[in-house]
Amino acid sequence: MSRLSSIPHANAPAAPVVIAIDGIMAGLALRDLHRFRFFSGHPRFDLLDGSRFTRIEDVRWAVKRLAYATADDEKPSATPAESPELVAI
């Protein structure tokens, strides 16, 4: 019996890791030989789709940073009459 065959599940694919933030399912991270590959599950995280990361913590960090960078402003957008460049003087 070879040494590798004695290791249980040595070549079994790893289960996907669900990455969620603020109640949004951002995507899945799948482990290949040496890395995690991110698959977007929400349009907000499409920028990371297909990205590869060494550690699962790096996937979570990237998702968190992108979520922070793309967070909606809590202030309503200005109407055209309130825009400084459109106000008549």
d(CA 61, CA 50): 16
Residue-wise pLDDT tens digits, 13-54:
678 999 999 999 999 999 988 899 999 999 999 999 999 999
Query: Which domain, by its residues, includes 27?
Result: 12-68
pLDDT-derived band at 9 (thresholds 50, 70, 90) equals: low
71: helix, coil or strand?
A: coil
Cα angle 83-88-89, degrees, rounded to a multiple of 5: 120
Residue 87 lies in a domain: no
Q: How deeply is 29 buried, as exposed, middle or buried, from its count of CB atoms within 10 A (0-12, 13-18, 19+)?
A: buried
pLDDT of res. 71: 86
Tell me, yes or no, if the pTM score tops 0.75.
no
Residue 85 lies in a domain: no
Residue 1 lies in a domain: no
Residue-wise pLDDT tens digits, 47-84:
999 999 999 999 999 999 999 998 874 344 544 444 44
Which has more pLDDT, 45 or 1? 45
Residue 31 lies in a domain: yes
Residue 30 lies in a domain: yes
How many domains does one find in the chain? 1
Residue 4 lies in a domain: no
The structure tokens listed for 21 are 């933030």
Residue 48 lies in a domain: yes
60: helix, coil or strand?
A: helix
